[in-house]
Structure 1
Amino acid sequence: MNRLENDILALLESGEPVALATIVSLAGSAPRTPGTRMAVRRDGAILGTIGGGRLEAEVIQAGRESLHTGKSLLKHFELTGKDAREMDMICGGVLDILVEPLSSDAQTVALLHTFERLRDAGKELLLVTLLRDAPDYEKQLLSERLLVEQTPEGPVFHPRRPENHNLLLPLLETAMAERCPTMFTIEDERENDRVVIEPVLASGTIHLFGAGHVSKEVAALAHQVDFRVEVYDDRPEFANRERFPRAAAVHVPEDMAEALDPKRIDPNSYVVIITRGHKYDMDVLAQALRTEPCYIGMIGSRRKRDKIYESLRKQGFKEADLSCVRCPVGLDIHAETPAEIALSIVAELVSFRASMKDRT
């Protein structure tokens, strides 16, 4: 939900608080999955959606209440039978939605800026919300938000390490292993304390080789579906910030045969090859095959692919190496224009990313 969080940050920086609603648990079926977020403004306007219908209407009302009281709410919905039908759901589910006010104070804004910086750097993060009952306020909660950065040396807390961090450590490990929002009871002297832990998994970096018309469209569309994009082309008149304003990085290598830096490629990387010629495509593909991204795709006809593969076999690459390459890249939607081709490519990337999550 990168764009939603960016929009929330813009509102807070303008001085407007918002209420953030997050599906934190689900059993059965519902329109959206755990981790889905929606922001509620003071007038009831929303950013994002948790599925529409009466469910969303009730959460909007809870968001306005949260902004009025400054307290958080944990809403429990049992959407079965008549309740499910009244909430426009074909079949029912049981879900919990955390609704919490985000104020426009300096600490909240600073935490979101830290989140933005670490997320854009491809870090795996955990959002932690500590909850305790609000004295004298029935069914309302006091909440505190923390950000946890996963590092080789262990978790780093922002803006501070909580007093009960030792109790949190095993819960953090469990939440990351489950890779979805999880609510726990903290086993200490305060029996009503709870914590919601939400893994923020890296959405994937597209390493886009080639900065022509199709690549420009791919980069723009990929941003809309929360991919991070780095662009590579040896032509500065194409590879520049004016053409790729939202790219995380724009690289202008001297030689496309050495454009791919293996240190930039990890199992959360998507290599997409759309250069201006067969020779450049083959050079980049040869480099990509020596690394371990989760996805490699190359544009071109089957005839072009076969010629490139034959050359790569002569360089020592095996069938097992070549079989992992998606070529022609993109879903077959009979695309013709650069925008249509970009749509087919990004649709395939979204599908692949979803399949990766299903396997975790």
Structure 2
Amino acid sequence: MSKGNFEDFLGAMSALQKKGKTFVVVTLVKQIGSSPQEVGARAIISANGLEYGTVGGGKVENRAIQEAKKMITEKTRYLFTDWNLQKDIGMTCGGVVSFFFELFEQEHPFHVAVFGAGHIAQEFVRLLLKLDCKVSCFDPRREWLDKLPTSSKLTTLCTEDMASEVTKLPERSFVTLMTMGHGTDLPVLIETMKHRDRFSYVGNVGSHQKYLRLRNDLKQAGIPEDVIEKFYCPMGEDFGGNSPVEIAFSIIAQILRTKDQIFGRSNEAST
């Protein structure tokens, strides 16, 4: 792999990591006889398929993609395998190739997107920063964003078009809506629900009455009924009062419970 290609390869890895994607790097490490690629050829494969590069195309690459997807599902860290291209892959050439597969799994910190920087968000973000997570906060009001603490874990963006930021969020983000009101929540929620499968959690602050209104608005926006079911409103566990800090605690509890269900619960305890 040339220097230029290697830099492109590293750039592709970095882009996938920023998106929060788990992927497998496949490297051709040895060949005997003829093969469709030279030693050193690399490919990056995610659950969606080939993301970058090639290890030969055709049948051998399809087999590599299948193996990589299996590793992602089973969380296999490494795999070294030899394939006879004729007997194992069904190709006409009779060479033997050796591949090394390495899993790059998305690890925590998890990412929480906070749309709104008002009273609840002020408490919520401060609690989030005590956890092993990254936080993004969006609001059109600079004065409210400036009230948030400074932290390497926190990114803020002052924008009138919060909905346009949804598709830029890392995959598996936890998306929380607590803007100035229904009129500013709804465009963000509609855009989020259009891409619901990308996110681990979607929640909107509000009452049961607001939930009914949001459901109707989502239906009017063309969101399928089965997708509409996949968001929380009222957001948060059913405990505590209506003060911003208690609401923030209840949302944190719901997010942590959801995270444990998706990623598994850590058994490590600190002293």
TM-score scaled by length of structure 1: 0.45
Q: Which structure carries more relative contact order (alpha carbon 8 Å, separation 6+)?
A: 2
1:221 to partner: Cα distance: 1.7
1:120 to partner: Cα distance: 9.2
Give the 5 Å matches for 1:280-359.
Answer: 280-292=184-196, 293-358=199-264
Secondary structure at 1:231 match in 2: strand
1:139-167 Cα distance to aligned partner (Å, 9 max, x none): xxxxxxxxxx999447xxxxxxxxxxxxx
Unaligned runs of 5+ in 2: 1-13, 24-43, 54-67, 80-102, 266-271
Number of aligned residue pairs: give it. Answer: 199
1:201 aligns with 2:101: no
1:219 aligns with 2:125: yes
Unaligned runs of 5+ in 1: 1-116, 127-148, 155-171, 185-196
1:273 aligns with 2:181: no
Equivalent in the alignment of 1:59: none
Tell whether the 8 Å contact from 1:204 to 1:228 is kept in structure 2 after alignment.
yes
Equivalent in the alignment of 1:33: none
Tell whether the 8 Å contact from 1:282 to 1:308 is kept in structure 2 after alignment.
yes
Tell whether the 8 Å contact from 2:173 to 2:201 is kept in structure 1 after alignment.
yes
Give the 5 Å matches for 1:83-94.
Answer: none
Q: Distance in 1 between matches of 2:194 and 2:245?
A: 30
1:173 to partner: Cα distance: 8.9
1:249 to partner: Cα distance: 1.8
Tell whether the 8 Å contact from 1:239 to 1:250 is kept in structure 2 after alignment.
yes
Give the aligned residue type for 1:317.
I
1:246 to partner: Cα distance: 4.4
- Quickly say closer, same or farther: Cα 1:227–1:335, change in 2 above 3 A: farther
Give the aligned residue type for 1:271.
V
Equivalent in the alignment of 1:264: 168
Tell whether the 8 Å contact from 1:208 to 1:230 is kept in structure 2 after alignment.
yes
1:324 to partner: Cα distance: 0.4
TM-score scaled by length of structure 2: 0.58
Tell whether the 8 Å contact from 1:231 to 1:247 is kept in structure 2 after alignment.
no
Which of 234, 239, 243 is residue 140 of structure 2 equivalent to?
Answer: 234
Give the aligned residue type for 1:333.
F
RMSD: 3.9
Tell whether the 8 Å contact from 1:205 to 1:229 is kept in structure 2 after alignment.
yes
Q: Distance in 2 between matches of 1:173 and 1:271?
A: 27
Secondary structure at 1:249 match in 2: strand
Tell whether the 8 Å contact from 1:231 to 1:249 is kept in structure 2 after alignment.
yes
